[in-house]
Structure 1
Amino acid sequence: MARPDDIPQPTRDAVLNLPCPVFETTPFVAGPPLAQRRVAILSSAALIRRGDPPFPFGSGECRFVAADTPAADLLVSHVSINFDRSGWQRDINVIYPIDRLRDLAASGEIAGVAETHYTVMGSTDPAEMQQAVNQIEGQLRQERIDSILLSPV
């Protein structure tokens, strides 16, 4: 992750001036124990399947990623000078921890892994993402997924 001093202007001021919500110290929703939850991933890496068009800069869209998509078929279309790409190039689980979720499901620590996962462009103004939020919510309800692992990039 880049330090603010490493980010060029005007991006630095934009990042430093973003509103940051304050959350209570307790969860805002209740739910079953982790061992009873089915989990989906939401990555801000703007993942695409090889051959798909990349996310446009600042895009508020969401794309679905099937759980059975081979890691070799996934590319990152998030464009930013603010992060080091070498980690995910060695191990996709750095930005899309699908294998780690499968391990947790196999050991019984979670009930299961979603069939569908989600990806967005991380450098997008959240105010532009309402349609994506609605799409994700609808798919989560359809698959009866009760937890999301956020994987920010």
Structure 2
Amino acid sequence: MSGPPADGPVRGSPEPKGRGGEGADARPAGGGPVESGPAGSGRPVGPRRSGLRNPVAAARGLGAATLGLEALVLVLAVQPIRVLSAGFGTAAVVASVALAVGAIVVAGLLGRAWAWYAGTVLQALVLLAGLLHWSLLAVGVLFALVWGYVWHVRRVILS
């Protein structure tokens, strides 16, 4: 009845070392496939630098969340634009709603490589809409900076 558990170590036997150790059960840190070469080094094939399980999906999620937040801000900007505008109020409202719809569409398409460039064009269009109302320029500058950071993060985790 007493004794070591079936899957535990036996008293006096060497413990397997942690991640990347020299023990019999050494696994790569990322949990990926292990090389099966003559050296049997136990290093993962194509290590993931970021440590994420699915870095492509993480980058896509970050981009989609950013564009979704931008769409929300653009829709919420409609009321202040309508109240504060003097001349181009209707055009600024239409532009804001159209850009919000565009941001949602691009966010849904970020699985395609060209959609990342479409997101950059969308940022330029929001900046251009700043000619209609100053608040759209403020939103455009803010989200252009955030979009630049999203590109930086995407490049880092996918490299």
The answer, yes or no, to whether TM exceeds 0.5 is no
Larger Rg, first or second structure (1 or 2):
2
Structure in which a larger fraction of residues adopt helix: 2
Q: Higher relative contact order at CA 8 Å, sep ≥6: structure 1 or structure 2? A: 1
TM-score scaled by structure 1? Answer: 0.26
